[in-house]
Amino acid sequence: MRSRILLLATIMAAAAAFPQSAPVVLKVSTLLDGRGNVLHNTSITVQDGKITSVGDGASGAATYDLTGLTVMPGWIDTHVHIDWHFGPDGTITSQRGETPERAMLEIAGNAWKTLQAGFTTVQAVGSMRDKPLRDAINGGQVPGPRILTSLEQITNPGRGANPQPGATPHDLSPDELRAWVRQVKAEGADEIKIFASTGLGSGGKPTMTQEQLDAACGEARAQGLRSVIHAFGQAVGMAARAGCTSVEHGLMATDDDLRAMAEHHTYFDPQLCLVFQNYIDNAQHYPNLSPESLKTLHDAMPQADELLQRAMKVPGLKIVFGTDAVAGADGRNAEEFVCRVRDGHQPAMQAMVAAQSLAAESLGLSGQLGAIAPGMQADIIALAGDPLRDIAAVRRVVFVMKGGVIYRNDVPAPRTR
Ligand SMILES: [Zn+2]
């Protein structure tokens, strides 16, 4: 017994004495710091998964030369459905009949595609299948973005955006909602997702009362969890007044609803194109979408452009970046930047920050993610091109580091003279 203790002590001493990994120096000519600043001709030093310094590692030899590229913090998508995928016959409906093993491989594939596209963190909203994926990624077994997940979606039975077939519509009591929030927390969720209105096709009417939203978002806050609310129209202002953390979608919101979000410090996550266009482009893979639904999705895009333009005029309203990426859209999340800038007229720097420091703030992770600064996680990407001049450069991610590990390096070798 004594020798075993001695052996354990020796191993622990060896672990403690194990030297830190050698620093990695990235040489950079253009750096967006994630907080709205541009730095030129600098360097980033990374050690043990974190950024240790910016600007004073230049004297040493560069480990990776990223000059000629635009370097920035990895993007954060605050609204994805990473478990959605097409099943064995290529349709969304056939995933119900597939094996769990095939499903998890498809889902792991979505995580890989998302990471390769420069998204180093995503908030899934959310499914029980996110949990093993999140934990496998955190454990280093599977490559993918950091995942936060709601695991479930809280909704009045038979109401909400996707009412369960056969469920008798009824309202949950405030106590039942509070209990559900606590249950989702106990299951290991990172945030709470709540349906406060119907889907777009059914007019986006409120599906919860003010009292219900007050109870659900209030309990989430009491439990230390953020609350992410699916809301259109009137439900937008209701969610803000309930003190919920963020409103997703928001079409049909009035200026009063937008001002209510600013007043109550509710983050706003509108979608302009990817989610709509993805359904339209993949209509054959979504057999449950009727021609009328497709028309609704098509018509939503100009409305969303107009909504973003109105939202940008509301003082103090914090507009974050989330795509609502569903099956077919994984790895194309950055398309949403292109629409925001070209169709919604958001300044490109604002669009970047929305997916960097502002998104991190909305997730309660300001101290760790979304900026290139000492102490932050080394989530760093590089683009061939400058998105501030041509937003389409977001499609050309050539370097991806997450937590100090490089997952993509297509940086062209320097030309010999
Ligand atoms: Zn969604």
Residue 417 lies in a domain: no
What pLDDT shows up at residue 56? 72
Range of the domain at 69: 2-73+372-409
Give the amino acid at 312: M
Residues 124 and 260 in one domain: yes
| CATH number, domain with residue 49 | 2.30.40.10
Residue 9 pLDDT level (bands cut at 50, 70, 90): very low
Cα 355 to averaged position of ligand 1 atoms, centre (Å): 17
Tell me the pLDDT tens digit for each residue of 217-250. 999 999 999 999 999 999 999 999 999 999 999 9
CA gap 387, 394 in Å, rounded: 6
According to DSSP, residue 121 is labeled: E
Percentage of the chain exceeding pLDDT 90: 85
CATH number at residue 94: 3.20.20.140
277 and 357 share a domain?
yes
- Distance from the CA of 62 to the center of ligand 1, in angstroms? 42
Q: Of 322, 306, 331, give the one whose Cα is nearest residue 271.
A: 322
337 with 404, same domain: the answer is no
Same domain, 181 and 226: yes
Q: How far is the CA of 53 from the centre of ligand 1 (A)?
A: 37
191 shares its domain with 333: yes
Residues near ion ligand 1 (CB < 5 Å) are 324
Per the structure, the count of domains in the chain is: 2
Residue 367, in any domain of the structure:
no
Rounded Cα–Cα distance for residues 361 and 123 (Å): 13
Distance 57 CA to ligand 1 centre (A): 42
42 CA → ligand 1 middle, Å: 39
Q: Are residues 357 and 378 in the same domain?
A: no
84: CA distance to ligand 1 center in Å? 11
Model pLDDT for residues 307-359, shown as the tens digit of each residue: 999 999 999 999 999 999 999 999 999 999 999 999 999 999 999 999 999 99
The model's pTM is: 0.93
pLDDT of residue 254: 97
Predicted pLDDT at 310: 98
For residue 416, is it within any domain? no
Give the domain-ending residue among 338, 362, 386.
362
Q: Is the domain of 229 the same as that of 378? A: no
Same domain, 280 and 204: yes
Same domain, 268 and 135: yes
Q: Tokens standing for 145?
A: 């973005």
What are the tens digits of pLDDT across the range 95-132?
888 999 999 999 999 999 999 999 999 999 999 999 99
Q: Give yes or no for a cis peptide into 370 (omega within 30° of 0).
A: no
Residue 302 maps to a domain: yes
